[in-house]
Amino acid sequence: MIGNDEGARLGAEAARRLARTGRYAFEPGLTDAEFRRIEREFGFEFADDHRSFLAAGLPVNIPPEDGQTWSRPWPEWRSGDSDSLREQLAWPVEGVLLDVGHHTFWHEGWGERPADGTEALETARHHLAEAPVLVPVYAHRYLPAGRGSFGHPVLSMWQTDFIYYGLDLADYMHREFDGARGEVDESWNPQATVPFWRDLL
């Protein structure tokens, strides 16, 4: 098994749930050498469940529907354009910066907001550089990076509008792709654990 046993189990279950929907074809999963190359190139480590999911098979993007925001929502880790992958990785930070610059968003943990807009953006950028890295799962759905971690809720991120999209990666695959979107009961209670980003939920 890859990484933590429970994380590997969770990622494999997520892959099975997605495959059962029949919505996507799959390429062979990423190899250990490919994981090393990706993590070295982009400067993060996949969480154990995310790693296991991608090792089980890479979902293949299909032609986008009319009005779809992302033409390639599944990150193409094996053969995708590096700049596009960097843009997807930067999406959460850039979205927050957009709201800092245009919508007066300011996190209380950053201290007093500078009066000068340029200085406010630079201060925000400095603090965001210290926030944990978020890794795209699908379009603007993200999991925290981090070898040895697993079971984080999947977050949907659009500027500073963050919502939960799954208790964990396996639950997310069911809710996003298997017709369960919006079906929650009082027992469905995700709890984000990753610093800074959890404050925006």
Q: pLDDT per residue over 51-78, tens digit each? A: 999 999 999 998 877 777 778 899 999 9
The greatest distance separating any two alpha carbons of the chain, rounded to the nearest whole angstrom, comes to 53
With a cut of 60, say whether residue 3 has pLDDT above it. no
φ, ψ of residue 123 in degrees (nearest 5): -65, -45
| Mean of pLDDT over the chain | 91
| CB proximity list for 17: less than 8 A, separation 6 or greater | 170, 173, 174, 177, 178
- Report percent pLDDT > 70 for the chain: 94
If pLDDT is split at 50, 70 and 90, which confidence band does 1 have? very low
What pLDDT does 90 receive? Answer: 97
What pLDDT does 2 receive? Answer: 42
Using alpha carbons, select from 104, 105, 20 the residue that is nearest to residue 57. 20
Q: Which stretches does DSSP call E strand in the chain?
A: 26-27, 58-59, 134-138, 141-144, 154-158, 161-166
If pLDDT is split at 50, 70 and 90, which confidence band does 180 have? low
Residues 148-176 pLDDT 10s: 999 999 999 999 999 999 999 999 999 99
For 182, the token pair is 């919006």
